[in-house]
Amino acid sequence: MPPHDTSLIENDIMNNVKEIKMLHRENQILRTLLKKIEQRLCDVELKVEGHDTIISPGGG
């Protein structure tokens, strides 16, 4: 590639920036979902605390 042709490099950089932004957004969504899951688990633990029953996804 000739030294003066930077359009391909610029295009690669822009694509990388777009991908980083997308991954950052996905990361934020996953962190939010994880916090919600952790809160629900805490709620379930509080409900079962002091009882001998174990809540399972199958309902048993």
Structure confidence at residue 46 (pLDDT):
75
How far is the C-alpha of 13 from the C-alpha of 6, rounded, in Å? 11
Instruction: Check residue 51 and give its pLDDT.
Output: 64
pLDDT reported for residue 45: 76
Span 13-31, pLDDT tens digits: 999 999 999 999 999 999 9
Residue 54 — pLDDT band, cuts 50, 70, 90? low
- Band of the pLDDT at 60, cuts 50, 70, 90? very low
**In sequence order, which residues have a C-beta less than 8 Å from that of residue 55 and are 6 or more positions away?**
44, 47, 48
